[in-house]
Structure 1
Amino acid sequence: MKKIDPQSSDNPIQSEVFPSFIKLRRIDTVRNMRQFYLLTVQRDLFGGATLVREWGRIGAAGKLKISHHVDEGQAVDALAEVAQQKFKRGFRI
């Protein structure tokens, strides 16, 4: 049995309060579905922050969408909102 590190980002029980990186997966073998969704908050050179979203089929090149925000707090809020929507659609950490 694999021991779960409580500080690990793969542990669904413990996650960061204000994450800047989330990797989600949705795998359904019956429907031949293997999707990923990657959310990253990055600071930019002008004092703001960007939310980078990448998604697609696992093992293939994904699509990319970048949204700019005034500060890192707003970008993290946007990340949390998108992650919540993806959890409702069946994505998991």
Structure 2
Amino acid sequence: MASSCHLTHVDPGQNMARFYRMTMQPTLFGEWSLVREFGRIGSPGRVVATNHHTFAQASAALESLRAAKERKGYTAEC
């Protein structure tokens, strides 16, 4: 399982150019943080972090979000 993933969705017909980046990072308290960055390509975007008790939980969350984004038309580079 990947500890990071970068997804993009580009559709010139709809003037759409989006990115979605996910990385897993250990916290100072022994948990794992799933950090998600998303927005329009070329902009800084937004950052959201969620904490998970184990690496397996964070990895499952990353894979679930990746699958959901791919269903919406994003292409993954994991």
TM-score by length of 2: 0.94
Unaligned runs of 5+ in 2: none
Query: Percent of pairs identical after alignment?
Result: 37
- The Cα of 1:73 is off from its aligned counterpart by 1.0
Give the helix-richer structure, 1 or 2: 2
Greater relative contact order structure (CA < 8 Å, 6+ sep): 2
TM-score under structure 1 normalisation?
Answer: 0.80
CA distance in 1, matches of 2:47, 2:33: 12
Which of 42, 55, 62 is the equivalent residue of 2:38?
55
Residue 73 of structure 2 corresponds to residue 73 of structure 1: no
Q: Report the 3-state secondary structure (helix = DSSP H, G, I; strand = E; otherwise coil) of the residue aligned with 1:45.
A: coil
CA distance in 1, matches of 2:56, 2:31: 9
Task: Tell me which protein shows more strand as a share of its residues.
Answer: 2
Q: Which runs of 5+ in 1 are unaligned?
A: 1-17
- Residue equivalent to 2:75: 92
Identify the residue that residue 9 of structure 1 maps to in structure 2: none
Letter aligned with residue 68 of structure 2: Q
- Give 1:34 deviation, angstroms: 0.3
Aligned-pair Cα RMSD in Å: 0.6
- SS at structure 1 position matched to 2:13: coil
Which entry has the higher C-alpha Rg, 1 or 2?
A: 1
